[in-house]
Amino acid sequence: MNLHYHTDAGDCFWDDSGYWSGTSATLCIGNDADAGSLPSHVYFPFASIAVLSGAQVTSAILTVSVATSRNGNTCKCKAYCNDADTSVPPTTRAQGEALVLTTDFTSKTFADATGLTTINITTAVQEVFSRAGWVTGNKLGVVLRDDASSSGRDRLLEAIEGAGTAEAIIDIVINSGGQVI
């Protein structure tokens, strides 16, 4: 079973200075060149995920659109899921920092390019779907955290507020024996 979801309202980013934004047309990941080279992090919500608890995930691919690539290579992040039965989008930097993350994550180095890029987050998504409290229809949160990007190296990702059709998407494949509604 193939499932395809677009990010929902509530996508946002924050940096280590205390800045948070949930209304920007782009979301900054990496070492934010506009914030004095401070690490910045991104949250993507995906609503009404139609998968029952314990379903076997064959793959889960996050696709994001890089609108701007600033200052060359070495923009790195770790991609997690919010380890919650149903994710609640943060509305402040403090709430973003307080999100409980999955133990599983995927490391990603962004190329010095714009356009679509993918991150395989299968193990993190499986961790959330294996939670006893996960039920079909819950919201899945994906968190990208800076991973020691070089100073001033960041990428601006399309946000739902400015993307048109280029907002983040997640494609989830459940094995044929999995429980899907």
pLDDT tens profile 19-73: 999 998 999 999 887 767 789 999 999 999 999 888 999 999 999 999 988 877 7
The half-sphere exposure of 153 on its side-chain side, counting CA atoms within 13 A, is: 17
- Across residues 2-12, what is the average pLDDT? 91
Whether the pLDDT of residue 177 is over 60: the answer is: no
Choose between 176 and 94: higher pLDDT: 94
- Across residues 149-156, what is the average pLDDT? 86
Q: Tell whether domain 2-174 is in CATH 2.60.120.
A: yes
Residue type, 137: G
Choose between 177 and 95: higher pLDDT: 95
Residue type, 151: S
Query: What is the residue-averaged pLDDT of the chain?
Result: 90
Whether the pLDDT of residue 161 is over 50: the answer is: yes
Residue 62 · residue 110 · CB < 8 Å: no
What is the residue whose two structure tokens read 């024996």?
177
164: buried, middle or exposed (CB in 10 Å: 19+, 13-18, 0-12)? exposed
Cα 165 → chain centroid:
17
Angle at alpha carbon of residue 137, lines to 133 and 139, rounded to 5°: 75
- Across residues 123-144, what is the average pLDDT? 96
The half-sphere exposure of 90 on its side-chain side, counting CA atoms within 13 A, is: 24
User: What is the C-alpha separation between 62 and 39, in angstroms, rounded?
Assistant: 21
Whether the pLDDT of residue 180 is over 70: the answer is: no
Write down the pLDDT at residue 38.
Answer: 86
181 band by pLDDT with thresholds 50, 70 and 90: very low
What is the residue whose two structure tokens read 């991609």?
79
Residue 140 · residue 128 · CB < 8 Å: yes
Strand residues in 71-137 grouped as ranges (E): 75-81, 106-110, 115-120
- Across residues 72-101, what is the average pLDDT? 94
